[in-house]
Amino acid sequence: MRVQLDAADLRGKLGRRPRQQFRLDGFRESAVLVPLVVEPGAQARLLFTVRRADMTTHAGQISFPGGKRDAGDVDLPACAIREASEELGIAPASVEVLGLLDDVPTPSGFIITPVVALVRGPLTLTPSEHEVAAVFTCELDELARPHRYVDAGTRSFLGVSYAMHEYHWEEHRIWGATARIVFQLLEQLAARDSATATDEKTE
């Protein structure tokens, strides 16, 4: 599928869609920033981090910047923005939240709320040496190319069967919760908005 970033359209889609939310005993609230990097003269890119191999959770995995919600976070978008600032030095003032994707529960006991946001460049990052091993970006249109996607079958978790996804970019294998979030995002970007379709029919 071919995708193109229209921030206003994506904000509308995310605001109108029913969002799947989870509240589960023993699971901790967390949030990740899904950073759509926009810089003058360049296509929109999705930013990923590679976690250090010695982390206590999700060691060595490709992820989005984020973490568990702290008592001082007024909401989950605030949590995601704070974590992105701490992990990568992304200035909160450069972040424009567009909306939320479906929650993603993980076997490690977290419920991840993906917070989709524009991050306006030029981008200068200062990755945390304690958490981040590497940072990379991929153009949205490139990530959506069929040869980058692998159907990873299904998995049952909490009595629900989930489709599993993988994406491959350069030497990176994007899988697990991060791949599920990418899949959601690309679906929203490629979807024909029902409100727009209705407006076109009435013209």
Q: Look at residue 150 and tell me whether its pLDDT is greater than 50.
A: yes
Distance of alpha carbon 21 from alpha carbon 142, whole angstroms: 29
The number of helices, as runs of H, and strands, as runs of E, in the chain is 5, 11
Local structure of 29: helix, strand or coil: strand
Q: Which residue has the tokens 């921030």?
A: 7
Token output for 141: 């249109």
Token output for 122: 């030029």
Q: For the chain, what percent of residues have pLDDT higher than 90? A: 67
Compute the C-alpha angle 67/73/78, nearest 5°.
75
Q: φ and ψ at 49, to 5 degrees? A: -120, 155
Homologous superfamily assigned to 7-191: Nucleoside Triphosphate Pyrophosphohydrolase (3.90.79.10)
Residue 31: pLDDT band by 50, 70, 90 thresholds?
Answer: very high
Q: Give me the pLDDT at residue 75, please.
A: 97
Instruction: Enumerate the domain spans of the chain.
Output: 7-191
* Position with higher pLDDT, 160 vs 21: 21
- DSSP one-letter code for 69: P
